[in-house]
Structures are given as C-alpha cells and as structure tokens.
Structure 1
Amino acid sequence: MSPDHPPGLDPDRLRGLLDRERPGLVHGPLTGRLIEGGRSNLTYAVSDGTSKWVVRRPPLGHVLATAHDMKREHRVISALYPTDVPVPRPVLLCEDTENEAVPGAPFYVMEFVAGTPYRTADQLAPLGPERTRGAVLSLVDTLVELHAVDPAEVGLGDFGRPEGFLDRQLRRWGKQLDASRNRELAGIDELHATLGRRLPVSPAPTVVHGDYRLDNVLIDDGDRITAILDWEMSTLGDPLTDLGLLVMYSLPLGMPDSPVSTTAEAPGHPAPAELIERYAERSGRDVSAVSWYTAFAWFKLAVILEGIHFRYTQGQTVGRGFDRIGDLVPVFIEHGLTTLQEG
C-alpha cells in the first residue's frame, strides 16, 4: 500500500473494485482520507475529484468477528434509504476480507452527504439560540420518523429480538461493567439493581439506532438533518431507549472542560422536558417511564466510560483527555440515581 494512502484503505484498488461492481460510477483516480471522530469503526472520505463517497470498515487489527457490524450497518441504511428517514445512499457492500481495497476486513461504500456533526456546545454557539433550538427539535422529529417505520415493511422484521430487549440490555451492560471492574464505584450496583427492579413494559418494537445524539447526525446550512450516521448499534427494540439517550445528552453535566461533553449548555438548546413532550405528541407513545430510560442511559455511559478508564489504567489507551475519563464515572452514576429518585 502506498505511503500516501490512509491506513486500512487502498484507493487505487477500491477504484478497481468499483469499476467492476459499479461501472461508470467513478470518473478518475480516487484519493482517500480518514475522517476523525469515530468511536470504533473507521470512516474514510474518498473522491475522484468530482464526486465523493464514504467507506466504513472495522478498526485496524480486527478480524472476522466484526464482519456482522458492516453487514448490519449496510443492511439498515439500505432498508431505510427509500423511507423518509435521512440516511446516505448505499453503494456497495464487500464481505470479502481478502479484498485488497480494504485489507483484512469487510466494508461498505455509501454516498457522501454534506453536513456538520455538532459535537459540543461551543460548536453550536455560532448558530445562535434560534437555529440551535431548531436543530435540536429537528433531532426529535427525525427520531419520530425513524420510529414510525414498520420494520417488516422495509425488510427488517428479523433485524433483532425485541422480546425481553430491556432485560437483555441491562444484563449485557452489567457484564460489561464486571469485565472492567478494578476499583470501588459507589452507587453503581444500586443503580443497576434499581433499574432491574423497575423494568418498564416496552411499547411495540421499532428500529432502534442505539446511539442517537446530535453528533451522530449531519446538519446542513439550512439547519436540516441530511443524514443519520453510525448505525453500528442499531437493532429492533424499545424505541424509548433512543429517547432516553437523547434526553441524557440534553442535560448539562456541570463539569467545565469535561472530556465527554453534551450540547446542553448551548444558548437556545431546548430543555429535556420540551424534547420529551414533542416526542410524545408526534409519536403518540406513552413516555411516562422516560426517567427509567434516561437513568439507563446514564448507567450505560458510566459503564462505557469505566471501560475506557480501565483500559487507560492498563496502558492500552493513549491520547488527550483519557486521564480524566475516570473522574466522570461517579458523576454519571449520581445522575442516574438522581433521575430514578425524581422519576
């Protein structure tokens, strides 16, 4: 692979594959660059100088176990593309891990969609209060559109196992916590146990994104959501888990310079109560148990952050901000317990 190529992608060999599989699509040599900001799977922007596409692959060094992720992501955007849910147009899925375009990994190609993923309150601030408010309310409306899709009608009737979804999620994240336990975390077992005792009855299942928040959508200059990205955690399940996560990310952490930020402090950002009410009104769903779902989101993020902290203490993670991740975990636990008490 040429040193000019980004690690994990060979644009020349990708051009050859696309010419064979999608003749006439590409009109010149391809260049590629890694798009920063992804949590796990790698994302590249490629271009022939006129058109742009995006390539998604598992992390470098991963083996066949993650092949399913690429297939699932490609499958869900392919199913949703003809609907009103904004997703990129899928172009190609390649499950051949011997393919030299993306060495050692399955991958897929989709059209490049213009737009900005707003990750922090500081990035939102230049929009001003009115545009910020509109963008966040559009996030709710787009979630309602996603949850309105009939999975069976778009070929996703077998995309997950919705029966017992919340119980399995709770057990899964409890196991994740056990796998990274190396310090005392006051309140986390209480939070986990209380969530288990108060398990709500789920509404009818829908396609669930699994990580729905402002920086996983693209917003154009007209404040329109042009695409929902990062479908690696999508499945069939309880739609209110998406709402709970969105509410969690709409609450201020109260920690300046936190390595994990929400957009809640941006001027004009709607309060969680307004987001919940808008979702309830537009979806017609009962949201009376939303405190449970929000507390579950706090718990899930606490477990994820503790895992990152654990890897940092083992010397397996390097980079800015990782030394402060551990300080966040008790804050997330406290928010989760408080949310349950208030609910």
Structure 2
Amino acid sequence: MDTKMESTLDGLVDVPRLRCWLDEHLAELGDGPLTCTLLSGGSSNAVFRISRGGESVVLRRPPKVPRPDSNRIIEREARMLKALTGSDVPHPHFHAYCADDTVIGAPFYLMAMVDGWLGYDENRFDPAPFNVPQHRRQKAFALVEGIARLAKVDYRAVGLKDFGRPEGFLERQVDRWASLLASYRESENYPGREIPGLKYAADWLRANTPAMSPAGIIHGDYSFANALFQHQPPVRLAAMIDWELTTVGDPLLDLGWVLYAFRGRDESTPPAGYFDPDGYPYREELAEYYAERTGRDIGNLTYYMVLAQYKLACILERHYARMLNGRQTRHLGEVMGKLVLRLGAKAGEMAKAAG
C-alpha cells in the first residue's frame, strides 16, 4: 500500500487483512487488486468504496474514535439491511457483516453501492431535470413512500422479533433523549445551555403520550438527507440510507420526523426544518398519503412531530458541544447549534398550540 493510500485510510482499514477476508467471504467481488477509497468519515461512521475489479461495494465501520455504542450500531445496521432483503423497501442490498475486529480494527459490513442522487445537500440544488416544481412535489411523496413501505414490513416475519422493545416505546422516549443530552456534560465536557421551548416540549410530551400504533420498523433518521433518488424521472426513491438509529417501535415517529420540516396549511410561522419548504406539498397532504398507504391512524400527528423535534434537538446538540471542545468543525457546530435552537422553539410552539 503506497503512502497516499495509507494517508487516505488513516488507519481505518487494514487492506491486506481485508483482502484475505474478502477472498474467503465475498469472492464474487473479484480477485484483482483491492481499491479502497474513503467516501466520508464523520463522528458516526467511516464509509469506504471497495472494488476488486467487479462491482464496487460500500464498507461501513465505526469512526476512528468510536462512541461507546459504535460497534453495536454497526451490527444493528447490518442486521436490519439483511432483514429487509426481498422486501419492497428501497434500501442498499446487504452483502456481508464481520464481527471480528482483528480484520480491519473494528466490526464492519458491506452493502451495495447505490446509484442515485442525494435528496438534500446544503451545498447544491437538486440536479436537472429534477429542479422544477413538478418534481419537487413528486420528491416529497416519494420520500413518504419509503416510510410507508417500511411501516408495512412484518418485523417478526423478517427475523426482528428481538430487535427492539416496542412495549412502552413512547413512554421511554423523553427520558431516553433527555439522558443523552445530559450525558454531554461528561462525554464532551459541556455544561449545557438554555434551549428555549425544549423543556416545555418535554413536559407536554410526558403529559400527552398517546397509545402506541401497531409496532413496526423505524428508520429513525429519515429525511431528504438520508434518501437517494433514481436518476431518471419521474422521481422515485432508490434507497433509504444511514440506518444507525433503526429500531422496532412506533412507525409514526418516522412520519413525525419527516413531516415537521414541511409547512402546515394553517401554520403562521415557518417550520424548523433543514430545507426551504416552499414549493413542496403541505404536510397534511403527505400525512394523508401515508395514512392511505399504511392504514395507520394519524390523529396524533402533532405529538409525533413534537417528539421528533425534541429527539433531534437532543441528538444534534452534541455537534455544538463538540465544536466548543474542539472535536468538531466550527461550521458544522454552528449550523447544528442554530438548528437545535429552531427545533426546540418550534417543538415548544407546537406543544403550546396543541394545548
């Protein structure tokens, strides 16, 4: 391996050991020289393109400085993608999982390389010919179609009976994410800050927890930023990606996670989302489409949107904390820090409006 390759991999992949493992476990990739290219390397996962002369595949492994749950997350992602094999849920085809951390230094899995364009990138607009109003509407419905299909998968039938704890799922949510937020004091040496609206939202969620809808698979972080679309019109979903928060629980949380960022018909203030919702369908249209596709009752949609924004604010505050301690870039930390404030304020506003 040359110096450039060594620098690119940054100690994240032992190429000779990986080549031997592929010879034994995934010979269909070919037997030529192994090319390993870093695609992304953030605080959650490191992602590589792997090629040996045949089709290219994607390798995902924990980051260089793993979190306490990084290995478990990789194993769960791999198990979910394997379980979805044969379903109509657009997802990357699963190839193989390796729990042996002596191969490349950490557990990893391999999945298909999906040819598609990312639904959201802060540095660019949708590619032509999709940058027109007609396709913007199609794109929103295609996004919702992904979670509608996922919600209809029988998690028991695909081997995920023990994957999550659906009993009491909603009752645990606020404490689960409040605990994560509090943990940054120790893990990031972060004293915390005032996030207006967040405490009100937490209290409202505890007081207004509905009966859970039928348990199903949750993606957990589904948005335009984690959706790949096919290159040719009409707009169709190619794959739902980044499954690190997947579990079995209440699928309506995925719906709330998607719809909080769209504009409501009677909404007087803008959503707290990450994209400009102008030109997209109203959230009520998308909610009705989801209900028609799944048969699920969406009468408590506000609860799920408040919960989604609360959960996301707690998760993303870690980026702001890491910026302050020098473990995160200033740009990303500032962007996420501002988004957290919008999420907290909007979650509180929605809760107050609901009464």
- TM-score under structure 2 length normalisation: 0.87
Matched, 1:309 2:320: yes
Structure 1 residue aligned with 2:250: 238
1:184 and 2:194 matched: yes
Q: Tell me the equivalent position of 1:40.
A: 44
Equivalent of 2:80 in 57, 72, 76: 76
Residue 12 (structure 1) shift: 4.1
Q: Which residue of 1 aligns with 2:140?
A: 136
User: 8 Å contact 1:125–1:132 — kept in the other structure?
Assistant: no
**Counterpart amino acid of residue 202 in structure 1:** M
The equivalent of 2:334 in structure 1 is 323
What residue number does 1:262 align with? 274
1:88 to 86, 92, 108: 92
Shift of 1:65: 4.4
Q: Taking every aligned residue pair, what percent have the same amino acid on both sides? A: 35
Matches within 5 A, 1:1-343: 2-3=2-3, 4-5=5-6, 6-7=9-10, 8-36=12-40, 40-62=44-66, 65-99=69-103, 102=104, 104-120=105-121, 122-124=124-126, 126=128, 127=130, 128-180=132-184, 181-222=191-232, 223-251=235-263, 262-265=274-277, 268-343=279-354
Normalised by the length of structure 1, the TM-score is 0.89
Q: Which moved more, 1:173-182 or 1:68-77?
A: 173-182
Q: Which is worse superposed, 284-293 or 113-122? A: 113-122
* Residues in 2 aligned to 1:191 and 1:38: alpha-carbon distance in whole angstroms: 30
The corresponding residue for 2:188 is none
Displacement of 1:334 = 1.4
User: Structure 1's 295 and 34: CA in aligned 2 closer, same or farther, altered over 3 A?
Assistant: same
Corresponding letter in the other structure for 1:132 = R
AA aligned opposite 2:239: A
Stretches (4+) displaced over 6 A: none
CA distance in structure 1 between the partners assigned to 2:274 and 2:250 by the alignment: 23
1:308 is matched by which residue type in structure 2? H
Q: Which runs of 5 or more residues in structure 1 are unaligned?
A: none
Shift of 1:2: 4.4
Aligned to 1:35, the other structure's residue is in SS state strand
Residues 38, 286 of structure 1: alpha-carbon distance in 2 compared, 3 angstrom cutoff? farther
Find the aligned partners of 1:105 and 1:37 in 2 and give their Cα distance.
Answer: 14
CA offsets, 1:197-221, max 9 Å, x none?
A: 1111111100111111112121111
Deviation at 1:161, TM superposition (A): 0.5
| Counterparts of 2:78 and 2:59, CA distance in 1 | 11
CA shift, 1:288, in A, is: 0.7
Q: 2:332 & 2:92 partners in 1: Cα distance?
A: 32
Query: What's 2:187 paired with?
Result: none
Query: Do the aligned partners of residues 278 and 37 (structure 1) sit closer, same or farther apart at CA in structure 2, a change above 3 Å counting?
Result: farther
Which amino acid is 1:107 matched to?
F
Q: CA RMSD in A?
A: 2.4
Number of aligned residues: 335
Secondary structure at the counterpart of residue 286 of structure 1: coil
Q: Give 3-state SS (helix, strand or coil) of 1:203's partner.
A: coil
Q: Aligned partners of 2:344, 2:68: CA distance in 1, in Å?
A: 35
CA distance, structure 1, for counterparts of residue 36 and residue 51 of structure 2: 7
